[in-house]
């Protein structure tokens, strides 16, 4: 146990953080959070904290965690925050507090270069056009110097480069200790470091994967931890659901076909039927994709599976897998990779069997298609039992924090989804002066959303405001249709630089936005959170409407039906809380620093003319409010003078 005064001293005017960290200023809310985290660690209890933007929550949980000197896992929602924590915040605070423990960073295997895959690429060549050969040479050059194998460190490589899937392993394709490169394996090395460290930084995907695997007795990271801290915790319920369910993707099947071809061409050249079986299976996977319909969509697998053509295609897919498995059986023992593929096919056969039995209640059976790919998923409607069990399982500190957790003054929705009981709860308001710094507007005379010309009317209404602000604006949309339509209108009617999500990688777009002073970024969900633009570069955020998830979205639909069966009110219990949290994230893009100023416009009159609008408004910062766009223009013009 450490003395209460230690935390007070660390955060004081003359404390260690002020002395060692440039620009550090003590903040009351930060100290309150740090004290609550300290107490949670000491008493091995659960703590849920909403810390408004500018609270300084990262230091508020890092300082007590380092001072406690206990085995700690910190999990973040995004890889960006994970890298920032490990490369910027932790080294600074570690130095300030003279912390001598070992610290490690651990990501999922898809982030690390696989040496076996790199070797295969040299032998067999790359799939895809010639442009990715340039990317391969970048990776090879970087590989000679890297110590970690973390591909995000290869700065030359775009984060969405098509070469990446060909250079990383998946849990299914990894040969583990049988791999000829195991001694130098970057994933094994990172895992080993993490297990030996006193503090490990992971992300929610990895944490939940480890937790789900632990159910089968393999998870090794979590059992020894005495303190578990989740930052960006609002993302956790949805991510946890993915891992306590099952998924089969076309990528898994394509990888099996590709790996079979490689083995046939390099290790068992005399087995022509292996190549043929792989080709037949690949063709069948492609045919099955066509049965699922065109374009990008999500739908109910139970309903789709009732169609005789889909059932027939599904059965043929099972038969082809069975046949491929029988062919491989003839060569078992001749190649470790082939033995591993045999086991992977056995796993896929079990998954298909489970997908064919759609009678199991408590799960959502859904499918998704994108380009030539597909995914078939079975997702539990709630993870509160499984997650809650983990929390109750062992006495340790569980700390959940985010800028957006409470809805209308309560944490009920968040705690219920994760099965968190008897947690200490705390809401810390942002220290920013919103009434002086910001204005919030729901414009009058908005076009009704069922009109054909809503898009052009809305664009026409918003453009004068954007022009008055000389760009420096995010337009956050709830649909791709709206995003593309607004961008098209602005490009046609304005000289400002209009950047559109999807036209280049996220990091590149943000970079462009910062460089081109008078630009407008039009985007959807991936820019609603985790984007930090400070200062004059961004002083206007426009949100097209309240971010309710479409009721046709299969997972939400299933949760709504389940809620009704249990006598709940789906709109109040599920849809409103989730839309409130999403809106808070979007609004939170505007004021990121003490000196930031600007306006948020939400183009949805339901905020003011529906009773539930009050729940949204109650959860937003207390900025000046208006319905008059002229007042918005005046406010923005004054900021520039």
Least confident of 3-12, 107-116, 603-612, 630-639: 3-12
As a whole number, mean pLDDT of residues 307-321 equals 96
Least confident of 101-110, 166-175, 302-311, 631-640: 166-175
Q: Give the pLDDT confidence score for residue 410 in this predicted structure.
A: 92
With a cut of 90, say whether residue 178 has pLDDT above it. Answer: no
As a whole number, mean pLDDT of residues 352-374 equals 93
Inter-residue contact 166 to 114 (CB < 8 Å): no
Average pLDDT value for the chain: 91
Cα 583 to Cα 478: distance, rounded to the nearest angstrom: 10
Cα 614 to Cα 197: distance, rounded to the nearest angstrom: 47
Long-range Cβ pairs for the range 496-499 (8 Å, 24+):
496/466, 496/467, 496/470, 496/471, 496/520, 497/471, 498/522
With a cut of 50, say whether residue 216 has pLDDT above it. Answer: no
For residue range 443-480, what is the model confidence (pLDDT) as tens digits? 999 988 766 678 999 999 999 999 999 999 999 999 99
With a cut of 60, say whether residue 4 has pLDDT above it. Answer: no
Cα 638 to Cα 44: distance, rounded to the nearest angstrom: 51
As a whole number, mean pLDDT of residues 527-541 equals 92
Of 593 and 397, the structure prediction assigns the larger pLDDT to: 397
Burial 370-381 (b: 16+ CB within 10 A, else e): eeeebbbbbbbb
Strands 373-380 and 246-249 come out as antiparallel
Beta-carbon count within 10 A of 617 CB: 17
Q: Give the pLDDT confidence score for residue 286 in this predicted structure.
A: 96
Cα 562 to Cα 382: distance, rounded to the nearest angstrom: 10
Q: For 537, which DSSP code?
A: G
Q: Output the pTM of the full model.
A: 0.91
Provide the β-strand partners of residue 370: 373
Q: Give the pLDDT confidence score for residue 2 in this predicted structure.
A: 46
**Confidence category of residue 217, pLDDT binned at 50, 70, 90:** very low
Q: Give the pLDDT confidence score for residue 129 in this predicted structure.
A: 65
**Confidence category of residue 218, pLDDT binned at 50, 70, 90:** very low
Q: Give the pLDDT confidence score for residue 214 in this predicted structure.
A: 56
As a whole number, mean pLDDT of residues 383-403 equals 93
With a cut of 80, say whether residue 122 has pLDDT above it. Answer: no
Inter-residue contact 239 to 208 (CB < 8 Å): yes
Nearest alpha-carbon partner for 233 in 45, 78, 79: 78
Cα 183 to Cα 203: distance, rounded to the nearest angstrom: 25
As a whole number, mean pLDDT of residues 43-52 equals 96
Nearest alpha-carbon partner for 47 in 412, 342, 563, 420: 420
**Confidence category of residue 288, pLDDT binned at 50, 70, 90:** very high
Q: Give the pLDDT confidence score for residue 195 in this predicted structure.
A: 92
Cα 283 to Cα 289: distance, rounded to the nearest angstrom: 10
Of all residues in the chain, the percent with pLDDT exceeding 70 is 97
Provide the β-strand partners of residue 598: 438
As a whole number, mean pLDDT of residues 534-560 equals 93
Q: Give the pLDDT confidence score for residue 215 in this predicted structure.
A: 47
């Amino acid at each position: 146990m450490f003395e209460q005064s230690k935390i007070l001293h660390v955060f004081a005017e003359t404390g260690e953080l002020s002395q060692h960290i440039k620009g550090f200023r003590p903040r009351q809310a930060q100290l309150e959070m740090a004290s609550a985290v300290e107490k949670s660690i000491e008493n091995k209890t659960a703590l849920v904290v909403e810390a408004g933007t500018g609270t300084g929550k990262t230091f508020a949980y890092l300082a007590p965690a380092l001072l406690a000197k206990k085995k700690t896992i910190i999990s973040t929602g995004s890889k960006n925050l994970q890298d920032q924590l490990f490369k910027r915040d932790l080294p600074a605070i570690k130095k300030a507090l003279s912390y001598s423990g070992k610290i490690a960073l651990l990501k999922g295997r898809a982030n690390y270069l696989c040496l076996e895959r790199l070797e295969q690429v040299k032998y067999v060549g790359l799939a895809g056009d010639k442009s990715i050969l340039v990317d391969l040479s970048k990776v090879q050059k970087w590989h000679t110097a890297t110590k970690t194998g973390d591909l995000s460190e290869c700065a030359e490589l775009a984060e969405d480069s098509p070469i990446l899937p060909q250079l990383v392993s998946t849990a299914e394709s990894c040969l583990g200790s049988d791999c000829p490169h195991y001694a130098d394996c970057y994933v094994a090395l990172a895992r080993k470091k993490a297990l030996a460290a006193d503090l490990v930084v992971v992300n929610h995907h990895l944490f939940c994967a480890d937790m789900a695997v632990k159910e089968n007795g393999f998870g090794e990271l979590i059992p020894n931890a005495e303190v578990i801290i989740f930052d960006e915790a609002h993302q956790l319920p949805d991510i946890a659901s993915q891992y306590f369910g099952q998924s089969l993707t076309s990528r898994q099947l394509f990888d099996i076909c590709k790996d079979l071809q490689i083995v046939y061409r390099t290790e068992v050249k005399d087995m022509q039927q292996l190549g043929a079986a792989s080709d037949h299976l690949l063709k069948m996977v492609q045919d099955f994709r066509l049965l699922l319909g065109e374009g990008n969509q999500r739908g109910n697998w139970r309903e789709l599976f009732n169609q005789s053509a889909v059932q027939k295609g599904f059965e043929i897919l099972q038969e082809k897998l069975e046949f491929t498995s029988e062919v491989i059986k003839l060569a078992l023992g001749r190649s470790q990779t082939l033995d591993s593929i045999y086991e992977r096919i056995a796993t896929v056969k079990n998954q298909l069997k489970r997908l064919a039995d759609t009678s199991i209640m408590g799960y959502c059976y859904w499918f998704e298609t994108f380009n030539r790919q597909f995914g078939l998923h079975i997702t539990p409607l709630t993870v509160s039992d499984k997650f809650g069990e983990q929390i109750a399982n062992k006495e340790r500190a569980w700390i959940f924090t985010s800028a957006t957790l409470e809805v209308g003054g309560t944490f009920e929705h968040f705690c219920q989804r994760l099965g968190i009981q008897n947690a200490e709860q705390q809401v810390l308001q942002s220290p920013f002066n919103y009434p002086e710094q910001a204005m919030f507007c729901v414009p009058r005379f908005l076009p009704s959303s069922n009109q054909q010309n809503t898009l052009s009317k809305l664009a026409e209404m918003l453009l004068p405001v954007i022009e008055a602000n000389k760009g420096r604006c995010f337009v956050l949309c709830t649909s791709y249709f709206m995003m593309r339509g607004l961008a098209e209108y602005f490009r046609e009617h304005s000289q400002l630089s209009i950047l559109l999500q999807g036209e280049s990688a996220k990091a590149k777009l943000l970079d462009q936005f910062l460089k081109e002073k008078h630009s407008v970024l039009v985007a959807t969900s991936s820019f609603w959170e985790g984007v930090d633009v400070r200062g004059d570069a961004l002083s206007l955020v426009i949100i097209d409407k309240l971010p309710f998830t479409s009721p046709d979205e299969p997972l939400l639909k299933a949760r709504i039906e389940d809620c009704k069966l249990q006598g709940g009110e789906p709109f109040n219990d599920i849809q409103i809380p989730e839309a409130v949290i999403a809106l808070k994230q979007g609004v939170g893009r505007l004021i990121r620093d003490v000196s930031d100023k600007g306006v948020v416009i939400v183009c949805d009159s339901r905020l003011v003319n529906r009773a539930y609008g009050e729940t949204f408004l109650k959860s937003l910062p207390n900025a000046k409010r208006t319905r008059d766009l002229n007042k918005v223009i005046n406010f923005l013009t004054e900021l520039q003078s």
